A = this chain, B = another copy of it.
């Protein structure tokens, strides 16, 4: 078929391999710490954190899914779990019955406050302290450029 494939040269391959390795291992490492210390995975943590910073500690499901970088389906399952643990509750939005609003409960907030320091420490250890401020800035720009290609519908 397409014989005109633009294969990767040595530098490109090296760059991609390094990124791929990081892409595989960092999420696992973060999940491991969170799971062990708080019984949450990274997605669940992100959901709770996003709620805690929202007005009224509430947010509609679609927004929350976007904020936490997940699909609506995934979020729905996760919020059901979090709800059964008493960290979140859901109610239909009065002005539009299709919309569901999720709210962080006091227990959920307290739990998040317990979990946050350990998580922040890990992010520091693995990412922030591993890089110079310049590198972190480079990484931010790079991540945004890649994200723009992967998910063009998110102007930011």
Q: Which residues of A contact B (CB under 8 A)?
A: 1-2, 5-8, 11-12, 14-16, 18-27, 29, 46, 69-70, 116-117, 120-121, 123-131, 133, 135-151
Assess whether B127 is in contact with A138, with CB atoms less than 8 Å apart. Answer: no
The chain B residue sitting closest to A71, CB to CB, is B28
Known: A126-B146, A130-B149, A147-B25. A140 touches B18 (CB 8 A): yes
Tell whether, in the assembled complex, residue B147 and residue A11 are in contact, meaning their CB atoms are under 8 Å apart.
Answer: no
B147 A15 Cβ-Cβ under 8 A: no
**Contact among B7, B18, B24, B69 with A139 in the assembled complex (CB-CB below 8 Å):** B18
A-B contact pairs, 13 of them (CB 8 A): A5-B116, A6-B124, A15-B137, A15-B139, A16-B123, A20-B46, A23-B23, A25-B69, A26-B146, A131-B142, A135-B138, A138-B138, A139-B142
In the bound complex, residues from chain B placing their C-beta under 8 Å from that of A116 are 5
Q: Determine which of B117, B133, B148, B150 lies in contact with A29 in the assembled complex, contact meaning CB atoms within 8 Å.
A: B150
A22–B149 CB distance below 8 A: no
Q: A141 vs B2: C-alpha distance in the bound complex, in angstroms?
A: 33
Closest to A43 in B: B24
Query: Which residue of chain B is the closest to A137 with respect to CB atoms?
Result: B15
A27 with B23: CB separation less than 8 A = yes
Selected contact of A7 from candidates B120, B127, B129, CB within 8 Å? B120
Nearest-Cβ distance from residue A92 to partner chain B, whole angstroms: 28
Cα A79 to Cα B12 in complex, Å, equals: 28
